[in-house]
Chain A
Amino acid sequence: MSDDLASDVPLLIGILRHRPEALAGVYERHGAAVLDLATEVCGADEADAVAQDVFLRLWRHPDEASAEHGSLRSHLLAVAHAGAVERVRRRPAGWRVPAHDHRSLEVLSVGPRRAISLVYYGGCTSDGAATALGISKEEVCREISDGLDLLHLVAEETALEGTS
């Protein structure tokens, strides 16, 4: 059992026992990752609402997380992704994904690029992407996490270059 998984189990048990400090602990550990993912998918304006939905859903339905295989973070990111995609789908027909969002994937290596393309732009679930890529769901989440980290780094560097 990985260190992360071992650390999350007591928190998940605390949530099952309806202890607010347990949810606070989960949010402390995973809130930033969930928010980052939501921001990538649906933008900053709606990312807070997506993140809130993820953790409140965990509070109200902790059994969903405990029934999942893999890490709590994977579960939270999957829920966040589904929620963020749903918000994007509900947008008016005239809303367009900025072109640079697709081009930015070119900086990524094959693994993260394929995972992000399938899940973010192809509308695949993590399970579907795992099947399509022939890897585990955990590896899909890891590829996406690694890819998003690099995209953030590139975005920050681009922003710095713009101000220099």
Chain B
Amino acid sequence: MPKPSHARPLSPHLQVYRMGLPATLSILHRLTGMVLYGGCVLWAMVLVGMCLGSSAAVYAILHTPLGYVVSMAWVGALYYHLLNGIRHLFWDVGKGFELSQAYLSGWLVVGFTLLLTAGTWGWLLAV
């Protein structure tokens, strides 16, 4: 499409409408997806590092404070994206579209994400 000669104004949206839970969780799904992809780039680098014989170095880097922070954030994003993804799959077969259901499933996703992330890291770091 050719670029228009005048940039026409957009109708305001974020400045006008309040984003409820469904909209917030939707953009969070996209954001966690991007974060997860970035983590998978690191995962590929970890695999390459290991196969080149540097697993000790890889392991050491993972166990630095930054390594822990990045890994915890990635696992948190993973749980959120997984649970909200399942919520999406239910919508794909037509279930759960009522507003009350969307809010209920939304809060369940948030709650279980926090629970699973905290639980996983409690278990990983306790042993």
Q: Are A and B a genuine interacting pair, yes or no?
A: no
